[in-house]
Chain A
Amino acid sequence: MKLLTLCALMLLTPVAVLAGLTPGDTAPEFTLTDTDGKEHNLQQYLQDGHVVVLEWFNPDCPFIKKHHAHAKTMNETYAAVQDGKVVWLAINSSAEGKQGYGLERNRKARLEYEMPMPVLLDPSGEVGRKYGAKTTPHMFIITTDGKVEYNGAIDDNRSADKLGQTNHVAQALHALLRDEAVPVSMTPPYGCSVKYAQ
């Protein structure tokens, strides 16, 4: 018996994009503290000549598990460009009482997921709202001039268990590091909703 597929999956590469920070917009400044108590200041990284990747994070979201536990999409994407030029910051905007909140939970998740990138805590959601972060994950790439060069999904498969064909962030980073134009600079992000405070 063969499989005859049917189905109505609208998981692959939607055409439309969403509003929010658009490529070329100035990235909002922020300073946040990570799970080890270290402060991270966006401006400082940019002044030091880094390209900065922001990943909205919630350790208990199935889509984060897809890319941090079941696959190592984020770690591998980071490792491929880890020559000191790129800084990758995971940011958790879960509010107190909501899924994924808490210092201990995020410390533990960072160890479980073997994350080389720090997890910055934004429980007020102030930074998440400034960026218009909608989902976990939701990815931004900021170049040294402080401009947003990519806003959107990590890849082109919106499911919670399948990886996409194209890793948009890897593609954009490789282009930027070669001083080439980013081929796709905005896509609809996908994942769980960010668990903001009301």
Chain B
Amino acid sequence: MQWTATTRSPRRFRICLLLAVLLVTGCGDGAGGGNSNSDPADESSRADAPAVATSALVVETAAVPGGELTVLWRFAMADDWHLYWSGRNDSGYAPSVTLATAPGWETGPLRWPLPRRLVQAGDILDHVYEGELILIQTLAVPADLEVGSQVTLAADLAWLACRQECVPGKATVTLTLPVAGGTQRTSAGEAALRQAESLLPMAVPAGGLAFRWEGTTLNLNVPGARTLEFYPAWECGDLVDLLHDGESATDRLALRFRTTAGQAGPARGVLRVDSGGAAPAAWYLEISPTSIPDSGG
């Protein structure tokens, strides 16, 4: 897999995997107070080693007018650092990708892999990534691009990396691609995409999940599961106690919701299901709210 800028012979029209790489963190705090190099408590002085390195990979060899491109945005974290999931967390914020392109480009949502639950002192609950985070995004190529030309996309990546301390970072990644009448996926791109997709949550498999509302409590049952964890999206209903309700070492999970405007829920987020296999499953959970009578609030 090649995540660095590589260009093959243009004569053979195989300019592949144009990438751009690497800018690092440690920035972010700019002018203002607190940049004392003598103060070991100030993270500005600790930014000697990069917390996050970014790069990108286009899966296809060329942009086809009216077609689609698949881009993998990669955040490689140094040891001990973590980045945040896009759903609900007590602290931090999720990385962002903002693409500057010519008019006519359309972008799909970022697709986020399964994070892990992180509980820190003070009952602070976050959902995070360690090591590596790869976000998948589909771009729709404008129909009026000229075949034979080149197109350059610049993306601004921003993130908050934390370990004991937190450091915001940003980088600009530039991708240059030929515009062609046809395209194909590179083998490296295809392999990287498959790997990244394997970490994405998927739809609940048929018969995989049973659920039942009991008042304001949503009871989930995944037959065969050893552990269950629920990671709520921001749009999830208000949970009474996610810290304790959000994980279970059984095949059942009971999520207690607060009543808002006469209803409890919806349950929206990701359910992590460990059934003892090589890797846990991750399912998108979307369960409609239930009406709560006045007396039941």
Contacts and interface: CB of A to CB of B under 8 A. Distances in A.
A80 interface: no
Given A8-B97, A109-B34, A190-B91, A19 B239 contact: yes
B102 A112 contact: no
B103 to A, nearest CB: 5
A21 to B, nearest CB: 13
B5 interface: no
A5 B91 contact: no
Contacts of B168: 62, 160-161
Contact of B90 (A1, A125, A134): A134
B165 A99 contact: yes
A98 B46 CA distance: 13
B107 interface: yes
Given A4-B103, A59-B34, A65-B29, A16 B237 contact: yes
A68 B33 contact: yes
A135 interface: yes
A190 B98 CA distance: 22
Given A60-B165, A134-B122, A160-B93, A8 B235 contact: no
B86 interface: yes
Interface string A36-66: 0000000000000000000000011111010
Contacts of B97: 6-8
Q: How large is the interface on A (under 10, 10 to 19, 20 to 34, 35 or more residues)?
A: 35 or more
Most chain B Cβ neighbours within 10 Å, of A2, A16, A68, A95: A16
Interface in B84-121: 86, 88, 90-94, 96-105, 107, 109-110, 120-121
A5 B122 contact: no
A91 interface: no
Interface residues of B, number: 62
Given A3-B100, A10-B93, A193-B162, A62 B167 contact: yes
A176 B243 CA distance: 32
B33 A1 contact: no
Most chain B Cβ neighbours within 10 Å, of A19, A61, A198: A19
Contacts of A109: 33-34
Nearest to B256: A19
A136 B39 CA distance: 19
Interface in A129-187: 129, 132-135, 158-161
Nearest to A192: B166
Given A4-B99, A134-B91, A16 B232 contact: yes
A196 B112 CA distance: 29
B237 A5 contact: no
B122 A60 contact: no
Closest 6 CB pairs of A and B: A69-B32, A6-B107, A112-B33, A196-B122, A8-B110, A196-B121
Interface of B: 28-34, 36, 39, 41-44, 86, 88, 90-94, 96-105, 107, 109-110, 120-124, 126, 135, 137, 139, 155, 158, 160, 162, 164-168, 232, 234-243
7 contacts: A61-B165, A62-B167, A62-B168, A99-B43, A100-B41, A128-B122, A161-B28
Interface of A: 1-11, 14-19, 59-63, 65, 68-70, 93, 95, 98-102, 105, 108-109, 112-113, 125, 128-129, 132-135, 158-161, 188-198
